[in-house]
Chains A and B, each alone.
Chain A
Amino acid sequence: DIQMTQSPSTLSASVGDRVTITCRASQSISGRLAWYQQKPGKAPKLLIYEASNLESGVPSRFSGSGSGTEFTLTITSLQPDDFATYYCQQYNSLWTFGQGTKVEIK
């Protein structure tokens, strides 16, 4: 089974900050990685697929990069609506989620 490890678990930031979240896979997953945003009581929302492709309708301040085993999600100029929990997900071999990163207000 492929394990996904996100860091940090919690991130405190201010509006306007640049934020980076890292996701590491226990083995190579090529570029088959997605990022989701989840707010309390809501379903996850797809942000990025194939490591760096922005889902339709997602603001351009979100970007993803990486391949193989190391990936990052970057939010440039954090907005009030971005305070949420973010999950990475590999879909190279079945599906596995990272443990999540909560982005909270500093």
Chain B
Amino acid sequence: EVQLVESGGDLVQPGGSLRLSCSASGFTFNTYEINWVRQAPGKGLEWVSYVNTAGSGTYYADSVKGRFTVSRDNAKNSLYLQMNSLRAEDTAVYFCARVGNWGSQVNDYWGQGTLVTVSS
């Protein structure tokens, strides 16, 4: 069974840093690209970042570019999101989502999410 489990969400002050983790199981992790997607309280879904299978290629939404860094450790079946210079508007549930590798780059499996709250 495919599983993605996020962790690391917390309450952090504006300007602070946080690292989220996403642990994968039930599939060959190093053959799948992964997205981070977030959802502010009561709001819609926002794509945040992408990492390729090797971890050598990344993309970011303009809203987080220069502040967030995505990485992965294929030996540990894990994905990370380093978030720096956090702002109140970064408050959201953060999901990791697998990108299908069968021709359509949809997010076919999602974790349950981890909540990041940025507040003083």
Residues of B within 8 A of A (CB): 35, 37, 44-47, 50, 59, 62, 95, 97, 100, 104-108, 110-113
Categorize the interface residue count of chain A: 20 to 34
Q: Cα distance A38–B106 when bound, in Å?
A: 15
The reply to whether B107 and A97 contact each other, CB–CB distance below 8 Å, is no
Chain B residues positioned under 8 Å from A1 (CB to CB): 62
Chain B residues positioned under 8 Å from A87 (CB to CB): 44-45
User: At the interface, is chain A mostly helix, strand, loop or mixed?
Assistant: loop
Q: List 10 A-B contacts (CB under 8 A).
A: A38-B45, A43-B111, A44-B97, A44-B107, A53-B104, A89-B45, A91-B106, A94-B50, A95-B107, A97-B45
Q: Which of B46, B104, B108, B111 contacts A50 (CB 8 A)?
A: B104
Q: Which of B35, B46, B62, B100 contacts A49 (CB 8 A)?
A: B100
Q: How far is the CB of A40 from chain B (nearest CB, A)?
A: 10
Chain B residues positioned under 8 Å from A42 (CB to CB): 112
